[in-house]
């Protein structure tokens, strides 16, 4: 059995009809279903599945955050000079401080050919010129009237 919210916020269940092939399954509004015990069991299992999925996602996010905090960037080692910056993306609000500033990450290409995403806050301290060159190459000024 599956569940969805149909038109007008109405809960519908995907019903397998006894004695019919799966190709005959249909979506039915909850009020049309005369199998209250099956729906109760389905809802219980569905909620448990949703909770497990939520816990799995939270665990994965925690693992990624922990991994990110311990990550070392090649630029910090100082052995491989930056050749250029190929792009910058917004990561979201900076979680390190509560100022609500956006955090950016740049795709850095090193002279060795290696590439990695590096927070622009690190680049600003360790390789400011490639970061400035990247932004300057994208500046466009309109003509004044």
Per-domain residue ranges of the chain: 2-69, 73-136
99-119 average pLDDT score = 88
CATH code, residues 73-136 = 2.40.50.40
Sign of CA dihedral 86, 90, 96, 97: positive
| Residue whose pair of structure tokens reads 């990247």 in the numeric block | 134
Contact 91, 103 (CB under 8 A): yes
pLDDT at 135 over 70: yes
Has residue 12 got a pLDDT over 80? yes
Total-model pTM: 0.47
Q: How far apart are CA 87 and CA 117, in angstroms?
A: 9
Grade residue 113 by pLDDT with cuts at 50, 70 and 90.
very high
**Sheet (strand 102-110) strand order:** 82-93, 102-110, 115-119
Question: Is 73-136 in the same CATH topology as 2-69?
Answer: yes
Q: Does residue 131 surpass a pLDDT of 80?
A: yes
CATH number of 2-69: 2.40.50.40
| 22, pLDDT greater than 60 | yes
């Amino acid at each position: 059995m599956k569940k969805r919210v149909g038109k007008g916020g109405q809960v519908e269940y995907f019903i397998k009809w006894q004695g019919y092939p799966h190709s005959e399954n249909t979506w039915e509004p909850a009020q049309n279903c005369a199998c209250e015990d099956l729906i109760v069991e389905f809802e219980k299992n569905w909620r448990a599945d949703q909770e497990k999925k939520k816990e799995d996602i939270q665990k994965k996010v925690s693992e990624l955050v922990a991994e990110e905090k311990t990550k070392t960037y090649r630029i910090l080692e100082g052995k491989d000079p930056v050749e250029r910056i190929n792009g910058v993306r917004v990561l979201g609000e900076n979680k390190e401080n509560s100022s609500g500033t956006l955090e950016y990450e740049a795709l850095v290409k090193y002279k060795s050919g290696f590439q990695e995403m590096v927070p622009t806050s690190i680049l600003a301290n360790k390789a400011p010129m490639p970061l400035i060159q990247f932004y300057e190459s994208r500046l466009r000024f309109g003509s004044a009237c």
